[in-house]
Structure 1
């Protein structure tokens, strides 16, 4: 009976580990698609981009014309409008034009800035996918851990019932029964902690899924077909820069670089003169020197400001734009450098996790089973104690949980790598 119960504890648990297939779960992609489509941040980013586009159209227009009204040549002794031929009531219109191609370039720049904002949609979608995938992986691990704990609890309860029956007929001691009951209580505590973690994961899913997060039940790890296909063709991380350059976060900076290049073009246009036109019409009510009504007056002016002193204005604006472009390019290089280092680190972690999983699958679990069988034989022959027997079962359970944790960590590494390389 001892052997049947305890070998059942180990054997069924081992079968449970083998029975965990690594396959895709169609629920996760569907949930991610729904979350991205209904993401409030998506609406925020689109509104910001639209606001920038409209601001660009506004900034590219001519200045509003100015209306000028007044009285000229008014005699101060009488303030009469019809006494002096020089007196006239004037109305004028003034229009100032853009400096060179500045207005066109400003609209181009704001369009580029709006495009940079829109590219943040890709970053946000990738962030949501990454966060939800991480939660999903943790949910799968907790699900599998709970299955292992429940199975061990069931089999330890069988052991406790067997010991209780033998205690009734004087075969076992009371401490053996208590020892089994203590082990069951410990498993119960782990089950409670597991349930708490699973509820927290569902609550975190609520950020993207709302009320339907309570129905989320992760049970299988995602499939990493796109990532694996990439890794099969790029065994070394030396060529990862090409993939990293397509990452949405890098594309955002690329759009900013274009905007900063346009800023330099705008700064160069500041060296061009700015033109304006002014048209004035003056109405005269007095008579002229010949006794006839004085003729009305028409005036047309062309204005032009000439940038002569550029050292502290135009030169500084151009230098500022050039420095800003250099800073943005450095930002892009730094981001690529950081991401490449992260990819290299995750690649190493992934390799180490695979090696450790092989060690668990090909050695540790088998050793745990052999140790358990040896202790079981010793217990039958009264050369081993029940606490050794239960300790061996606990060790076997811990090994199974450790392997499940390694499987989860490997999936988390795949998720991180897929995020960095944009290979979900």
Structure 2
């Protein structure tokens, strides 16, 4: 492994670790706020207990996310100094605003955690809402910075110089809305299914059933709403990518040849050497329709780009197919759950329904990781699309391989610690809030 691959691998590891906590930090406080609101309105102590239990989980994820996010900010400067030298003044605004949102989130979380029986009950609830809103804004601002890398704006690039910088135009680039919308719904779906799955598992184990059933209902509704809306945002994102980064769309679909009535590929193994896809199911005209809203419009293939400017096809294609497959699975579960709420409420007590959610616990986060892989790998070989190649931005400092090994060990250890803390928290729920 050379230093360039090590630097990319370390960044990928850090992002892959941090994005899980970012998603939970964006969404989990809203679960907490809904449960808290229900307690304030109807006085049911079970909702108070759910709220307090979830607030402890939010604190754990906030602390871990803050640490991993800080590491990422240092890595940007240490691993990619040439990138930050030019990009920092252009897209620094969303990062600085994200820092402000983070500080507000931290203050509000402190008020919330230590405000029980000290503040006015509605003010206390409102601090929990602020935690969620500021966390959501923080996520949107970071995504806006990443979107700028995919759709550079807010400057003129003349003779290798970045001039006429406009930070507002950079932040509100052509990719920010579609990426932010897709990320928010992905976070909602992933967090919802993860939380619902954990509570479904505890119900199956006959632990504190009333507590976990109420918690499950809140998380499951959030998850299913996100899963139903996610394909719509996916369609918006795909069309946006097709217009701005046609080679990324081509890599996502392993679409090698520019052609009209382009077929949509499901599955398959890309053969990059022979520029074909083996063992795939192909739906004629469907890719043209999804990309352009017309079955006959040509879709640009990878053959329109020099080989050294094409994304890694296999990784991008497999990640995209994984994301879509998991998304469709969660959509089916969501539709079935809403049907159950509408027509078959007696099925809500069935063990097979709970098993379905328990098995889907990691599904959303697997889809998030796959989707992030599509976003980042699909942009290669560019770190700033069309402007700066990733290889030109990496640090000349030697020994990055050892840094990658150390960070891998650190993140692996952190993962074990977080899992242990969450397991301990779930066990404590049964002891502290046993109202079965």
Bigger relative contact order (CA 8 A; separation at least 6): 1
Q: TM-score, normalised by structure 2?
A: 0.30
Q: Which has the higher helix share?
A: 2
